[in-house]
Amino acid sequence: MKKVSSGAEKAEELTRKKSTTKTTKKSADVKKKPATKTVKKTEKKVKKPAKKLTEKQIAKKKAREMKKAEVAKIKAEKKQRRLEKKLEAKQKRLDRIAALKEKRAERKEKRRERRDMLKHETKEARAKRVAEEKKAKIEARNAKREARAAERQAKREHRLKVRAEKRADRKERQHTPGLGGWLAAVIALGVTTLALGTMMTFGWIRMNGMEADMASIHMESVYELNSIVDNLDAGLSKARVSNSQAEQIKLLNEIAIDSEMAEVILERLPVDTQLTQNMTSFVNKMGDSAQSMLNTLARGGKLSESQKATLGYMYETNQQMKSVINEMTASASPKEIMNAWNGKDGNFMVKSFGNLENNTIETPKEINDGPFAENIKKVSAKNIEDLEEISATNAEELARKYFADYGLSDVHCTGEAVADQLVCYNLELKTKDGDMFAQLSKKGGKVVMFDSYKDCSQNNFSVERCIDIAEDFLNDLGIEGMKAVWTSENGTTCNLNFVYENDGVVFYPDMIKVKVCEERGIVTGMEGLAYCLNHTKRNAGEAEISKATAKSKLNSEFNVEGSRLTVIPMEGEEMLAYEFYGNYGENDYYIYIDAMTGEEIQVLTVVGTKQGKALM
């Protein structure tokens, strides 16, 4: 049977065909479009001609590149400068911190010394010292007041003198012939100048006035420094020859006050502090030395030969300072002052202070008590830390044993004390010759120090015999292997420094100081804290260089009188070094050469007593 399509079916089939045809055409169009675009783009790229730069454009391009490079360089330089300033500021901050720590350590050491002094003082001596110190303070205050009054009077006289000179100058000008015409011209010129001057800025006038004020202030500082150095010269000159206690106290008070004033003025001067560093240090030490001598006199003592020699050294050094500063003051002018203030090189103040720093000022490390006698690093009680503790009664018994030859009538423990990290018993010992004071370590009962108060007035024993007496005393205390390395005697008392010796090497950290009375031939004092805290039986090690090689590192003009291999304290550590003792010119020196590297690591100047001798 033949199937007949209906009209609806035909319409549907026709619609489906059209739709298929459109879809096919659309797909073909979509496929053709990318090819057409690609061709067009390719044609455009091919057709577009390359643009050539003109010489002007090339030059501009190069200029831009150079400018960029220059800007980058400037930025890098600015960054570097900022970094350098930051590092410089950091270093200055570290230097300030170090300086503060050093001052704090000095104050702490002074307090410790004062505590030790008070601990060993009798009531009578303390009362006398307090009275003398009070008297010295009153005199110092009066002297300071007088100095200020004198300074005010001098300034007043100077102002009056200047005023009188100006008045005389005006009077002389008033009697000059032809004054009327000259005065009219000056007035006319002044009016014109005033009219022109109103066009200047107020800021410039103010700045000019500030500079003039600063120059005036710094000029006054230079004159004040010159005056103080002159006063120090006169005071030191008198103090080194004076033999009267009252006169010495007066002069030393003046020296202490002038030293403090000089230090303040040096800090105000318009120059880099590095140029005045040594001078400031010397002036500071001069004041400390004067104060130390005042303390000696306040306790009823007399200035030692070492202290008198120190006065002589300070006088000679101050004379050289005086010569340079007087010349500098004579050349001073506001212009030169401002050049110094603005940091310009080559001005007279920089040259003058530079010459002082390089050629004159030397703050000596005084070793009149022997090398490393005062600056030994005390670490821990190596020699006795493992020993058993003793009671106060045991300490009294041991004291009777140690000092049996002194004719003790009574021994009494007065309490405990702490010396660095060492706990000690304080003991009072009564004898027919007077009282003695001793300290024994709580661990092991070792003698740490002792002192007696009876003075010696005669010389019945030689230095050599005093050394033997001191050695026997140390051996009786059980201290062996010690060698005398330094002696200082004043005709009635012999002071000796002993250090531990092993295989020919002396160990300065293990030091004991012994005082022998040359009248009675007995030990009257001992200080062995450094020995107790540092001593152990040990070897120094082997040197890398020979003594001959170390000697070749010395100045060819240095006259060597003795040498030996030593262990010395350096920055908290122990270092093996060759020690050379001798002289250069009129001064004696100790020079230390590193036994490992051959470098010169320490130079000590012998300042003070000529009676101090090294025992090689």
Q: What's the 3-state SS for 405-422?
A: HHCEEEEEEEEEEEECCE
Which pLDDT belongs to residue 158? 77
pLDDT digit string, tens, across residues 536-590: 888 888 899 999 999 998 888 889 999 999 999 887 788 999 999 888 777 788 8
Is pLDDT above 60 for 347? no
For Cα atoms 284, 285, 288, give the angle at the middle one, nearest 5 degrees.
90
Per-residue pLDDT at 176: 46
Nearest-angstrom CA–CA distance, 432 and 434: 6
The pLDDT mean for the chain works out to 76
> What are 332-341's pLDDT values in tens digits?
666 666 655 5
**Of 50-59, 130-139, 182-191, which range is least confident?**
182-191
Say if residue 54's pLDDT is above 70.
yes
In the structure, what pLDDT confidence band is assigned to residue 41 with cuts at 50, 70 and 90? very low
Is the pLDDT at 15 greater than 80? The verdict is no
Tens digits of per-residue pLDDT, 183-206? 444 444 454 444 445 444 444 344
pLDDT for residue 514: 93
Identify which of 48-52, 131-135, 159-163, 465-469 has the greatest average pLDDT.
465-469
Q: SS3 of 599, please?
A: coil
Angle between helices 277-298 and 123-174 in degrees, nearest 10: 130
The alpha-helical segments, DSSP class H, found in 403-489 are: 463-476
pLDDT classification of 177: cutoffs 50, 70, 90: very low
Check whether 34 has a pLDDT greater than 80.
Answer: no
User: Secondary structure of 277-312 in the HEC alphabet?
Assistant: HHHHHHHHHHHHHHHHHHHHHHCCCCCCHHHHHHHH
| Whole-number pLDDT of residue 440 | 93
Task: Assign 118 to helix, strand or coil.
Answer: helix
pLDDT at 231 over 50: yes
Q: What's the average model confidence in pLDDT over 74-103?
A: 88
The model's confidence at residue 523, banded by pLDDT at 50, 70 and 90, is very high
Q: What pLDDT does residue 271 have?
A: 61
Q: From residue 576, how far is each of 482, 504, 539, 570 by CA, in Å?
A: 18, 13, 11, 10
Domains annotated on the chain, with CATH: 121-160+202-360 (no CATH), 365-383+446-616 (3.10.450.40)
Quick one: which H or E segment has residue 564? strand 559-570
Task: Give me the pLDDT at residue 470, please.
Answer: 94
* pLDDT higher than 80, residue 318: yes
| Banded pLDDT at 594 (limits 50, 70, 90) | very high
Is the pLDDT reported for residue 393 higher than 60?
A: yes
Nearest by Cα to 373 from 527, 482, 571, 502: 527
Q: Are 247 and 302 in contact (CB under 8 A)?
A: no
Locate all alpha helices (DSSP H) within 356-476, ordered by sequence: 392-402, 463-476
Residues 6+ apart with CB under 8 A from 422: 381, 441, 448, 529, 532, 533
Higher pLDDT, 400 or 452: 400
